[in-house]
Structure 1
Amino acid sequence: MTTQNVETTLHITNLISQASPVVQLVMLLLFLASIYSWYVIAKLSMGFKKATRQDDHFQKMFWSGAETNTLYNNAQLNSERRGLEDIFYEGYSEYLKLKKRQASIQQKIDGTERILRVGLSRDQGTLESGLNGLASIGSVAPYVGLFGTVWGIMNAFIGLAGVEQVTLATVAPGIAEALIATAIGLFAAIPAVLAFNHFTAKSEAVYSDRALFAEEMVALLQRQSMGSSQESE
């Protein structure tokens, strides 16, 4: 076998096309997993940017001195409310319902807090949609690639059993095509793991900001309730 033929055989496209069906299937699955992970990464990136922008905008309006009833009416008209606006709307809706029933201050505050916690969890779950997929790809892809490598090396050695003289030129193609599976597995796993860690940290930061806003909102409503109660007396 000439040097030119060896180089041609060891070209990555030829190694993939000459790999066994099992190894090719592994490579295809890992390639699809990599495409999916990049889709999720792009989706999460846009989702977090949009959520942060919307939350900042609503907080500016909330603390600008606008009436809570005005903010509530605006949120009610917005069918696409998300994040803090949606959490505020759900919490204030419950507060108004309890106020209409003439519940005590403590009942109104407890009910509002409960609904705010539910809203926080629901919106956070929507924001984090896709993180579990990244975690699965990051943890499983290297092992899937390793399986393809082991299978490829096994087939390579089985093929060498009938060869009288084993040289580097006969061993290299089989080993190389097997190792491609591990390389693709790492190519799929590394970005997924990095993205998972990055977006998990961002998710915790967003949740902390929203939870702090919910606490401040409850404190504001409590002060308003106490003020209204004193006026009625």
Structure 2
Amino acid sequence: MKTLVHRANSRGNADFGWLKSKHSFSFGQYYNPERIHFGMLRVLNDDIVAGGAGFPTHPHDNMEIVSIPLKGALAHRDSTGTEKIIQTGEVQIMSAGSGLTHSEYNASKDEEVNFLQVWVLPKEKDINPRYDQKQFDSQNRQNAFQTVVAPDDPHAVWINQDAWFSLSDLASGNTITYSMKQHGNGVYIFVINGQIEVADNRLSKRDAIGISNAELVSIAATEDAELLVIEVPMN
């Protein structure tokens, strides 16, 4: 088993007033040559956007972009003709493929929105751009893994990569084991809230650990914890 730990306070930081963002990997003005990616996982940004503010129309191509609101809602519009509101409890994916433009704004004029923005490098390049979002019942991730992004699960949003995203709400004192869905993949565990122990490491809110060269990963909650688990190919 190979591990790397990213502490919450070691993340890159951007503060533009309307946007406050923490970067787990090099992004924008934050560059760390030791934190470019974890396998096919390229970006994990923890964004807080002020009421009425957001990202104006801009282009993307050949990237799988997942948005997970933790608090509030996002207003999305893109060049495929999609115009949606993404609520807390939903997960959105945009396969940029051969290229598109989109904008993303806080759906509220008054309240902040906090969301995780995750980029994964695609399996196939230049596919037709596509969009999907789904609501997920949090009851189905109590002391269990709830798959929300997958290439092979009709109940999840589809991704153009051999990657799986799972959410889990783990009660204090409980232990669950994650089993890799594809041999050779690694898993990046991001603590949204709470505290866990993984591979002899204690992780707290917004800490993360990347694990590779393992088929099974045991996670124990030392406090009630909310987790995002991202399995990706390592090369």
Q: TM-score range by the shorter chain?
A: under 0.3
* Greater RCO, 1 or 2 (C-alpha within 8 Å, sep 6+): 1
Answer with 1 or 2: which has the greater Rg: 1
Q: Which has the higher strand share?
A: 2
- Normalising by structure 2, we get a TM-score of 0.23
